[in-house]
Amino acid sequence: MNNHQKKMPMDIDVTHNSLVRHLYGENMNNSHQQVSQMIEANWQLQEEFCELEKAQNALNQVGSLRPSASSIRLIMEYNSRTKATETLYE
């Protein structure tokens, strides 16, 4: 058995992917309940699931960030200078 797969009671394997599916609510009804019970009963699964939740929250926060107007202006200025330089060497 590898690091990404944990043998649990009732002969059900909980993998990293099944924890991710659980996090996003993509498990089937019965499977969702079983994974929930296994997470509650196994501290290693609890830790892994907690880390997945933290990562999801961080990604959600990053998704809402936007660059500042000055950052966009600096990138556009750099792009203009780079294009002018490229034209000289073609």
Residue tagged 């203009």 (tokens): 80
Residue of 65, 78, 10, 2 whose CA lies nearest to 38: 10
CA count, 13 A, side-chain hemisphere, 66: 3
pLDDT in tens, 14-40: 788 889 999 999 887 778 889 999 999
> Encoding tokens for residue 17?
């992917």
pLDDT of residue 11: 41
What's the angle, vertex CA 27, arms to CA 15 and CA 32, rounded to 5?
A: 85
Average pLDDT over the chain, rounded to an integer: 80
3-state secondary structure of 26: coil
Number of domains within the chain = 1
Residue span of the structural domain in which 23 resides: 5-89
What's the pTM? 0.57
CA distance 39 to 50: 10
Average pLDDT rounded to a whole number, residues 1-6: 49
Amino acid at residue number 33 = Q
